Chains A and B, each alone.
Chain A
Amino acid sequence: MNLESIPLQAFLIVSSALFCIGIWGLLNSRNAVRVLMSIELMLNAVNINLMAFSSFIDNNLIQGQVFTIFVITVAAAEAAVGLAILLSLYRNRVTVDMESFNLLKW
């Protein structure tokens, strides 16, 4: 092993796998809290991608790290609003089953 550092592709593969696991969970979960967790997994995959590119390609102006900070901020806001929506939904429907939220189905 005579590489001088971990290759960029390793980070990209980890983040791709994490993103696809997040999509699978988003499509297949019955529990609404688990759907929110899958969204957080996907956001983390995007963050790993941004950080890897910022370290390997743009390492003088680390703009990827600044973008990651903003993504973390938006994810925190999204989690707060999402869980509040979930609580009021649970209060009205007395369930968190995703299959029972079909009000917008045509």
Chain B
Amino acid sequence: MSIAITTQFICFIILSLVVIIGALGVVLLESIVYSAFLLGGVFMSVAGLYLLLNASFVAAAQVLVYVGAVNVLIIFAIMLVNKKEDLKPINDIKSRRVISLSICLTLLSLLIRVDLTNVWRLSSPQNSIGEESTIRIGEHLFSDYLLPFEVASVLLLMAMIGAIVLARRDVMSKDISTGLPVDQELIEKSSEPLLTNKN
């Protein structure tokens, strides 16, 4: 990469601060809509980190898939299930918070210790491939990773059909094998429409 090293450091520090603070905001903020938009910011900064690592194709894929698809999907899900509800208080929430926080901090200290003390066997000319990485990814996908590439397409098809089947609203009124009417209460709890009861 042809950017000066000081600029790279400044970009890295800004991007990683945005990643960490944005992730904390995603987890800690009260409003779920703010969390969703902060999540988009985190995804964009992760794409920036990929650009610092000379991976322009993966950065573009990250922006397209995560920000363009996953984040929009999450925002749509929030729109569909956004009902103000009073959560029941949990009686031992304090101890639960403390235990989970200590587990996470222990794991974090363990990971950082491994990161800092392990001797990484770095390859000597760093970032030598640079702009060629897109060509290399294409070669990989059509030679030695051809089978996973094809299986991924089948996986996406299965996920698409599964999502449609799970999320569709109309259920069959008759059982296919016996022809008897289906007890709808078992399938779907009768409730008022979700979107029309806003006042």
Contacts and interface: CB of A to CB of B under 8 A. Distances in A.
A22 B23 contact: yes
A14 B58 contact: no
A66 B137 contact: yes
21 contacts: A3-B5, A6-B12, A14-B49, A24-B100, A30-B87, A36-B74, A38-B27, A41-B39, A44-B46, A52-B53, A59-B127, A59-B128, A62-B129, A74-B155, A79-B69, A83-B167, A88-B167, A90-B81, A95-B83, A95-B85, A96-B83
Given A33-B77, A66-B140, A48 B49 contact: yes
Interface residues of B, number: 89
B115 A9 contact: yes
A56 to B, nearest CB: 5
Contacts of A20: 104-105, 107-108, 111
A72 to B, nearest CB: 5
Main DSSP-derived SS at the A contact region: helix
A97 B88 contact: yes
Contacts of A34: 26-27, 32, 35
Contacts of B90: 99
B198 interface: no
A65 B104 CA distance: 28
B31 to A, nearest CB: 10
A105 interface: no
Nearest to A8: B120
A99 B89 CA distance: 10
Interface string B136-168: 110011000100100010011011101110110
A52 to B, nearest CB: 6
A61 interface: yes
Contact of A94 (B32, B96, B105, B189): B189
A36 B39 CA distance: 11
Nearest to A24: B104
B66 A8 contact: no
Contact of A91 (B24, B159, B188): B188
Contacts of B9: 1, 6
A16 B111 contact: yes
B191 interface: yes
Interface string A61-93: 111011011101111111111011111101111
A86 to B, nearest CB: 6
B74 A37 contact: yes
Interface in B2-19: 5-6, 8-9, 12, 16, 19
Contact of A55 (B55, B61, B65, B188): B55
B39 to A, nearest CB: 5
Nearest to A12: B115
A96 to B, nearest CB: 5
B182 interface: no
